[in-house]
Structure 1
Amino acid sequence: MDLLLENGLVYQAGQLQKMDLLIKDGKIAAFGHELGMFLSDIKKFDLTGKLVSPGLVDVHVHYREPGFTYKETIKTGSQAAAHGGFTTVCAMANLDPVPDTPDKLAKVIEKNKKDGVVNIKQYAAITEGLKSEKINDLLALKAAGAFAFSNDGSGVQTAGTMYQAMKLAASLDMPLVEHIEDNSLLYGGVMNEGERAHELKLPGMLGLSESSQLARDLILAQKTGVHYHACHLSTKESVELMRLAKSKGINVTCEVAPHHLLLSDEDIPKDDAYFKMNPPLRDKEDKKALLKGLLDGTIDMIATDHAPHSHDEKIGGMCQASFGITGSETAFTLLYTHFVKTGKMSLEQLLDKMSVEPAKAFKISDAGQLLIGKPADIVVFDLNQEYELKEEDYLSKGTNTPFTGEKVYGKTIMTFVNGKCVYQRED
């Protein structure tokens, strides 16, 4: 059945306007005013006072299937994405088996299509088994449907391997997406190296492990011409390096995760594994630099790095627990509450960084904007009613986030993928 979304505040072509949106055969058919006067046999939704946005785009999620389905499945991960307003997500390759051959990749892609309730793009691994030695057959992986190449979860440690992988990816016109981390500079750290780590008597992680490898990769990207995308920037030095690279015309993009924008290591109240993620929460100056970089365009987009874990993997202290934090269901609402409602950024800026810009950077032509003839991938938010983030409301298997219990605005009301409602709030 065709659908009419009436009286919403619609974000379209860079502007917020009160109007109707018609969905016909799964696609956006028309924008206008009082369209219902001319239509019959159609399902109508009165969205007065609600925001109607392009479905959000997340280029960085971990769905754990195959291999780790006790943490998350494709079904639960994609349901969580829909709950958070995301209609297109890009799933990382740190699975078991790793999708490092065409056959393994094809099986994951088939499962994504079968079980996913949102559009799922699948990364293929850069190297065999996510090690730093043997580069995979990237041409065959592209032919098998790879969205891009990434070893996220493991930085490529060998410069020669990275250089050759970049050359191959560039020749295939494919993005190379990197978890930037020099393992030789980690020293067993579990949180940011600094005063708070010393107070909690926990081993620290140097920001240098990120920025030094980023510097290496940016030089290699300049030489090879590859589209290089840096995952989850967390330090002020990384922001400066990225700013310099862009000023020199290097073909680079980057992302920042919501938790790095919202928290610093000073916010860690105790040895609590829900605050353990990689990269770790950095200091206040890093947090300020990340927001500044996001607002001035140095950082292209926001990506959640949704990384669910089981309860058992997150109990006890940081030294024993797994790295990672969930984000699909909390990202928009937290950022809207902390940044838009406080005047630190506009609603348009937030929507751009969570929909338009990621789709543009990765050339995802059917996502990120509301355009006539395009798939009706749409999210409806209630920006006015305050509510509390509760574990029992999460659709992800993972509840590993320190934001549970916060009072926020921007609740998802409905999410549509190809005109089909894949999430609807239960009143």
Structure 2
Amino acid sequence: MGVIIKNVNQVLFNNELELCQIRMSNGVITEIGKNVKQAHDDKIIDGKGHVISPGFIDVHVHLREPGGEAKESIATGTNAAAKGGYTTICSMPNTNPVPDNHQTLDWLYERIQKTAKINVLPYASITKGLKGEELSNMKELKDAGAFAFTDDGVGIQTADQMLQAMEIVASLDLAVVAHCEDNSLIHSGVMHEGLTSERMHLKGIPSVCESVQIARDVLLAEATGCHYHVCHVSTKESVRVIRDAKRAGIRVTAEVTPHHLLLDESDITEANSNYKMNPPLRAKEDQQALLAGLLDGTIDFIATDHAPHTEEEKARGMNDAPFGIVGLETAFSLLYTHLVKNKIVTLKQLLDWLSVKPAQVFGMEVGSLKVGAKADLTLLDITKEWCIDKDTFLSKGRNTPFDKWEVTGKPVLTIVAGEIVFEEDYYV
């Protein structure tokens, strides 16, 4: 038995919509056309004229399990991802224990197999325990199925350690994925060092804290030939360094978050810790540089940095609350509303940044809508108007600055390997 989705619109290269049907069998797309072949026992799904896209991919997600299940679990995080239209996510290693050995990574894969709603590809850590002291056994971790290597949440502080890591990772043909932050420049900051931190009398994190480490690392990547990927770029100086590195032929890629594209420091009007994230919301000119970098290809794609925390933790205020906000269930709607509807980007560009480009950057066998591709698909109602309500999230995290925002566009059906893993109530 196969599955056929009828009456759906695919987005063409010229951003035009074309009505089509898609047939799936054994988890693979077997036919796309105006009238696909239908067997008597095929299951039929009515797409109701909505837009079909390759399933979204997020290479930067915190699932918190093991050790942080009060914040999120693999089950709740992947349910939230499916609701947001994501079919593949990559889980960060800042868990307890850290996946810095094959036993922990083996356990993580077993847990993913038992509880995940969608595809989950786990990172392994660059250093043991994320302590920045001793390198993990990366060959062992690759053999155990590590997606890539990162100490996300902490920057690698010495050039020598990053050089050694890049040499090893280059030999393994994987990527170093870097949270870029020079600890000597943080100065206990809790938000961007700028007009808002000055007005609110809070310690600021300077932009150079991020960009100076990227500048170091791109030269190390050039020396080693390693694929170097920059997490959550936030400053105009970082964009400039990455742009120059790409022009020099260095193998560097980068991501940006929805919140850094849509918000800046001026949006923080009170000491609300739902606006506290790392890197922080920067100045307006940084926000503009991020969008320009995305449009010209300096920044390759969008990732959410979904970082759930408990409400008790976030209630501690700007100085003491942990950094991070959730994003899986709101990313598409926010970006569609504020970028596509305002004609800043096209729908085709947005879908590429959410699916095609991350797959291309990391060589994934997903992220395409063609015969022979894995049947990971997202159906989008681009006319649906709705209000973001954190109390309806499937994630355990409620920490979002976008609560009560009015948006347009919503994922209504998410399919992984030909199977429905999420269906919006009003679509049924």
What is the one-letter code of the residue matched to 1:394? F
Determine if contact 1:122/1:146 at 8 Å carries over to the other structure: yes
Alignment of 1:271-350 (within 5 A): 271-350=271-350
What is the one-letter code of the residue matched to 1:406? W
* Distance (whole Å) between structure 1 residues aligned to residue 374 and residue 222 of structure 2: 36
* Distance (whole Å) between structure 2 residues aligned to residue 9 and residue 238 of structure 1: 37
Match of 1:197 in 2: 197
- 1:90 is aligned to 2:90: yes
SS at match of 2:345: coil
Shift of the 264–180 alpha-carbon distance from structure 1 to 2, 3 Å rule, reads: same
SS at match of 2:421: strand
Alignment of 1:70-109 (within 5 A): 70-109=70-109
Alignment of 1:143-158 (within 5 A): 143-158=143-158
CA RMSD of aligned residues (A): 1.2
Match of 2:33 in 1: 32
Determine if contact 1:28/1:371 at 8 Å carries over to the other structure: yes
Match of 2:372 in 1: 373
* Distance (whole Å) between structure 2 residues aligned to residue 23 and residue 148 of structure 1: 30
What is the one-letter code of the residue matched to 2:18? Q
SS at match of 2:383: coil
Structure 1, unpaired ranges of 5+:
none
What is the one-letter code of the residue matched to 1:34? N
* Distance (whole Å) between structure 1 residues aligned to residue 145 and residue 94 of structure 2: 17
Shift of the 358–30 alpha-carbon distance from structure 1 to 2, 3 Å rule, reads: same
TM-score between both structures, scaled by the size of structure 1: 0.98
CA deviation vs aligned residue, 1:281-313 (integer Å, no higher than 9, x gap): 000000000000000000001000000000001
Match of 1:20 in 2: 21
* Distance (whole Å) between structure 2 residues aligned to residue 52 and residue 96 of structure 1: 38
Determine if contact 1:10/1:52 at 8 Å carries over to the other structure: yes
1:43 offset after TM fit, Å?
Answer: 2.2
What is the one-letter code of the residue matched to 1:170? A
Determine if contact 1:12/1:369 at 8 Å carries over to the other structure: no
Match of 1:217 in 2: 217
What is the one-letter code of the residue matched to 1:311? E
Figure out how many residues of one structure are paired with residues of the other and give that number.
425
What is the one-letter code of the residue matched to 1:411? K
Shift of the 129–14 alpha-carbon distance from structure 1 to 2, 3 Å rule, reads: farther
Match of 2:403 in 1: 404
Match of 1:246 in 2: 246
Determine if contact 1:12/1:370 at 8 Å carries over to the other structure: no
Determine if contact 2:65/2:73 at 8 Å carries over to the other structure: yes
Match of 1:68 in 2: 68
Q: Which moved more, 1:317-326 or 1:16-25?
A: 16-25
Match of 2:206 in 1: 206
1:375 offset after TM fit, Å?
Answer: 1.7
1:142 offset after TM fit, Å?
Answer: 0.4
CA deviation vs aligned residue, 1:178-217 (integer Å, no higher than 9, x gap): 0000011000100000111111111111111100111111
1:32 offset after TM fit, Å?
Answer: 1.1
What is the one-letter code of the residue matched to 2:363? K
Determine if contact 2:12/2:348 at 8 Å carries over to the other structure: no
* Distance (whole Å) between structure 2 residues aligned to residue 199 and residue 104 of structure 1: 45
Determine if contact 2:58/2:88 at 8 Å carries over to the other structure: yes
* Distance (whole Å) between structure 1 residues aligned to residue 96 and residue 364 of structure 2: 27
The percentage of counterpart residues that share the same residue type is 49
